Amino acid sequence: MSYFDAASSAPLHPVARQALLASLDEGWADPSRLYREGRRARMLLDAAREAGADAVGCRPDELTFTSSGTRAVHSGIAGAMGGRRRVGRHLIVSAVEHSSVLHSAELFEVTEVPVDRTGAVSAQSYADALRPDTALACLQSANHEVGTVQPVAEVAAACRAAGVPLLVDAAQSLGWGPVQGEWSLLTASAHKWGGPSGVGLLAVRKGVRFSPQGPADERESGRAPGFENLPAIVAAAASLRAVRAEAAQEALRLRELTARIRSRVPQSVPDVDVVGDPERRLPGIVTFSCLYVDGETLLHELDRAGFSVSSGSSCTSSTLTPSHVLKAMGVLSEGNVRVSLPFGAVSEEVDRFLKVLPGAVARVREKLGAPAPAPAVVVREDVLVVDALGKRCPIPVIELAKVIGEVPVGGTIRVLSDDEAARLDIPAWCEMREQEYMGEEPADQGSAYLVRRRS
């Protein structure tokens, strides 16, 4: 089985396993106690904090260990907003932030900064969003779904010029290197770089106004209540140091493998859109979307072939809504596959994936296309109407593709759909197929999407 979903959770690094087992024997006592066992635990905790701070690029007393990356985000945003409550309750986020950031932002007045089709923000868009009552800005260092690296240093400079702290979610990138720029707060999660789950990092620079929210607690500077999970913390710090030592060489190797996927998938699979920035990206992530494919079905096909990958497709979500990242980028969401290679990924397994993928996509397309009932089509005032109501992605797009040839060049097709994914996928299909998307209008049920045939 080839595990290609390291962006969700990386396999436990061997160094993390060794450190975890050793610290179970040595680090079980309360590090706040003065007796021998407590002092030994305190030494382990202090050493882990120094190692973590060195990797982050901050002082040890600026670093807090939390119970998860999500908890680090929630505590960081709440504490920063609490510390600057006299300034206001305005918060700036990008449209492609991790859900932990977006859920925290719901408690405040939010400006959501858009991204381009690669998934990147511009520093100018953050500068334009700043207001006198802006208390905090948030930006990920790199996107978790498509791998695009964000211009953190430029955004941090714009925020600093306005006196606004910037919180950086570095969960995906910290294993590859420190975050550049004059950021104010930083969060990360150990299981993203091969540490154990249940350990997060929160760094708060000296001088940043920060007021921990919730009941007071004496541990971790009051920013992370509860007894420290010392064995996991030690393992997290040890594995972070280990992956950093390997990062430069491993990044070169994984970039070659992901470049191979980016170039060969469109050659071997028709109607594929490779998304994300082709250059400013993390080494191990490559994401693509396949027309006329149900994402969940494709993932099952690849799982049967021995590959563990993930998807941002709407069809893999219980809510049946498109990935907010792909939606913000304005790219195709159906049939989405994210390949995120772990440290040590084998070149031969990448080649085997590239051999298996075309057949898997073809089988899914056959399942969705051949057995599907013919689309309900009527001609009304020289407009071809496709009734796809009640049909989920990617069926509305499949039915549109089937009938585009039935209208003359310049003719119009009106697609009726009540699936939210159609709002993203039909325009994306038009761009890929060089047809004209004319917009959306209300219908008796759902919405009507207008498409004009160009060729």
Are the CB atoms for 452 and 411 separated by under 8 Å?
yes
Q: Which long-range contacts (CB under 8 A, 24 or more apart) does 244-248 make?
A: 244/55, 244/175, 244/177, 246/343, 247/175, 247/176, 247/177
- Of the candidates 149, 148, 123, 118, the one whose C-alpha atom is nearest the C-alpha of residue 137 is 123
The rounded distance, in Å, linking the Cα atoms of 224 and 75 is 8
For residue 418, how many other CB atoms are within 10 A of its CB?
Answer: 15
How is residue 96 annotated by DSSP?
T
Q: How far is CA 76 from the centre of its chain?
A: 19
Active site residue 393: no
In this structure, what token pair is assigned to residue 54?
């060195």
Q: How far is CA 296 from CA 228, 312, 336, 364, in A?
A: 38, 10, 9, 10
User: 115: number of CA atoms within 13 Å, CB side?
Assistant: 29
Helix (H, G, I), strand (E, B) or coil at 9: coil
Are the CB atoms for 34 and 253 separated by under 8 Å?
no
E strand spans, 241-370: 272-275, 285-290, 307-308, 336-340
My answer on whether omega of the bond before 394 falls inside 30° of 0, hence cis, is yes
Helix (H, G, I), strand (E, B) or coil at 1: coil
Q: Which residue in the list 58, 290, 315, 393 is annotated as catalytic?
A: 315
Query: Cβ contacts of residue 405 below 8 Å, gap of 6+?
Result: none
Supply the residues annotated as catalytic: 315
